[in-house]
Amino acid sequence: MEKNKRIINSFYFSFFINGLLVLSIGSILLYIMEDFNLTFKQGSLIVSVSSLSFLVFNFISGGIISMLGRKKTCIIIGISFFLTALGLIFSPSFNFLIVTMVILGIGWGLNNNVGNILVSEYSGGSGYNLGLLHTAYAFGAFFIPLLITLFTRMNFGYKIPLIIILILSIVLNIMFLKIPLAEGHIEGKAEKPSFEFLKNPRYYVFICIFFLYVASETGINNFLITYLVDEKIVVKSAPLILSLFWGLMLVGRFFISHVSKHIKKNILLTVLGGGFFISFVLFMIFKNPVIVVIAIMLVGLFMAGIFPIGVANADSFVKGSGIESGIMFSCGGIGSAILPMVMGAIADKNGVRQSMYVVLLLAGLCFIFTYINYLMSKKETVKNKIEIKVEV
């Protein structure tokens, strides 16, 4: 029991550091662009490379675990986080930054799959522990913009928070070296792969929902601060707004987990999709700082539940052999790789505001697909009831 707790706590810590690193990129992107005299397109490339690397290593993480074993994979995660922080602090050129982003994607992609697998395994599939795992990521994402704002306002620069992450990553490596990991599954046998799910049209609806959600979240994470500063809505406190967004994401996940007990998951997902779209419309229409802050808080609150409630809606696929969820989440992750490049190119030609309309479009499409899911699930329910009556 104590051994299991140590392993689970290690991944809480790794997800916390993961959140710190991933969200630090969006928070320091303007400073990096100034230091290296980069265009929006080059700045977006930095974000896209990390997302693409994440996508690749998230997809192949199962094969890496099989080849190297769990312990060595965990050590790769810790070393990747350490090297990322080191690269961001001491990077001498744009090309070196690109390599650093590849390394971040390696750690991020492996951590995402290995963390979920091991916490689920060593907690007996506890929803509470898995919830805490993703809350740890959200807490890191919420905390780092605050830290960067604090140190930049005190004229210490943005690199002090990165040094703190560097130290934390050393601690993580020590934790990973000490945890006693079994190399095989604790229990159960691997299921025979089946690709019947590819014939189900609802599966592709979920792929679209996850793609649109992940792409939107990536766009907000990496362009919100730039947008607020460029439009002169909020300048000095812009990183705090990103922290506020993630603070509401954090609160929203706790709140929606409670609400989900009382509302049907297909209805709840549609409400969240609609709320996300309407809130983002308000965010784009107004330039009054107070209204913009309220709007982004609502965006965070509604977005908070889309991914977890989406997973709950897709439980028939997630509970499969693992192939279903692997393909579904990886396809969803493509959004995080593509969108920054698209938004960066638009920002260079037409300004940051025009690039944010891409997120508005994605939010609208996300709402449409959540509604399609509602109609399809309703149709499936009616069909099941008819089949039950026929059997009786």
pLDDT in tens, the chain (392 residues): 677 888 999 999 999 999 999 989 878 888 898 888 988 878 888 888 888 898 888 878 777 877 888 899 999 999 999 999 999 999 889 999 999 999 999 999 889 878 877 877 787 655 567 667 777 888 898 888 889 988 988 888 889 999 999 999 999 999 999 988 765 544 444 445 567 778 889 999 999 998 999 899 989 987 898 889 888 888 777 878 887 898 888 888 778 777 877 888 889 999 999 999 999 999 999 989 999 999 999 999 999 888 878 877 776 665 444 466 667 777 777 887 788 888 888 988 899 899 999 999 999 999 999 999 999 988 876 665 555 554 54
Query: Does the predicted model carry a pTM greater than 0.85?
Result: no
pLDDT at 325: 64
pLDDT at 102: 96
pLDDT at 321: 43
- Compute CA 350 distance to the chain's CA centroid, rounded to the nearest angstrom: 27
Buried b (16+ CB within 10 A) or exposed e, 210-234: bbbbbbbbbbbbbbbbbbbbbeebb
pLDDT at 383: 60
Please check whether the two domains, 1-180 and 196-392, share a CATH topology.
yes
Instruction: Please compute, for residue 342, the number of CA atoms within 13 A of its CA located in the half-sphere on the CB side.
Output: 16
- Measured distance CA(351)–CA(13) in Å, rounded: 38
- The encoded tokens of residue 150 equal 């604090």
- Residue 85's nearest CA partner among 97, 73, 68 is 97
Note whether 124 and 5 are within 8 A (CB): no
Note whether 203 and 211 are within 8 A (CB): no
**DSSP conformation letters of 301-369:** HHHTTHHHHHHHHTHHHHTSSSHHHHHHHHHHHHHHHHHHHHHHHHHHHH-HHHHHHHHHHHHHHHHHH
Look up residue 93 and give its DSSP letter. S
- The encoded tokens of residue 126 equal 């506890």
- The encoded tokens of residue 276 equal 């996300």
Q: How would you class 184 by CB atoms within 10 Å of its CB: exposed for 0-12, middle for 13-18, buried for 19 or more?
A: exposed
For domain 196-392, give the CATH superfamily. MFS general substrate transporter like domains (1.20.1250.20)
- Measured distance CA(248)–CA(220) in Å, rounded: 14
- Measured distance CA(82)–CA(84) in Å, rounded: 5
pLDDT at 390: 47
Torsion of CA 364, 365, 371, 375, to 10 degrees: 150
> Is CATH 1.20.1730.10 the classification given to domain 1-180?
no
- The encoded tokens of residue 157 equal 């620069």
pLDDT at 324: 67
How is the chain split into domains, by residue range? 1-180, 196-392
Check residue 185 and give left, alpha or beta (phi > 0: left; psi -120 to 50: alpha): beta
